[in-house]
Amino acid sequence: MSSRNQAEEDQAGAIDLTPMLDVVFIMLIFFIVTATFIKETGVEVERPDATTSEEKKNASILIAITGDDEIWIDKQEVDPRGVRAQIERLLADNPNGTVVIQADTEASVKLLAEVADTARQLSVSNVAVSTVKN
């Protein structure tokens, strides 16, 4: 009888971890769902200075144009002819997305205008050029 009493005492003194694990998993799911993911273009550019600028939050499509006139979207170099397809693909994920172009100070203005025009042709109403505020 003493071994049976000992087993009952061990069960009574044991801590049930199931509710704690449930709470931990719920918190993990909460943080994963609510986390904001930082989008990057895949290349660093030297943005031009500007005296007037306004901050755009929640830019969903970032396009970088380097000083060598390379176009980078979603950490991949894109041919100028493939920009339209890449923007269409990203707009399929987020139809109300905004486009922010990060053009290097040495980048071609013609290429910048072509990329912005391509985005506008795809009915993107909010196209902006990223600058550094003085």
The residue type found at 16 is: D
Give the closest residue to 99 by CA, choosing from 134, 65, 68. 65
Structure tokens at 105: 């100070």
| Reported confidence tier of residue 85, pLDDT bands at 50, 70, 90 | very high
Mean pLDDT of 100-120: 91
Query: Using CA atoms, how far apart are residues 33 and 89, in angstroms rounded to an integer?
Result: 23
- Sequence-distant (6+) residues with CB within 8 A of 65 are 45, 71, 72, 101, 102, 103, 104, 107, 108, 111, 112, 115
Tens of pLDDT, residues 31-57: 888 776 667 777 888 887 777 777 776
pLDDT digits over 3-30, tens only?
666 666 666 677 788 888 999 999 999 8
Q: What is the pTM of this model?
A: 0.66
Domain ranges of the chain: 2-34, 49-133
Considering the domain 49-133 in this protein, what is its CATH number? 3.30.420.270
pLDDT at 37: 65
Q: Of 56, 61, 53, nearest to 96 (Cα)?
A: 61
Q: Provide the token pair at 24.
A: 């931990």
Listed residue (56, 68, 53, 59) closest to 41, CA to CA? 59
79's enclosing H/E stretch is none
pLDDT at 69 over 80: yes
Q: Is the pLDDT of residue 93 over 80?
A: yes
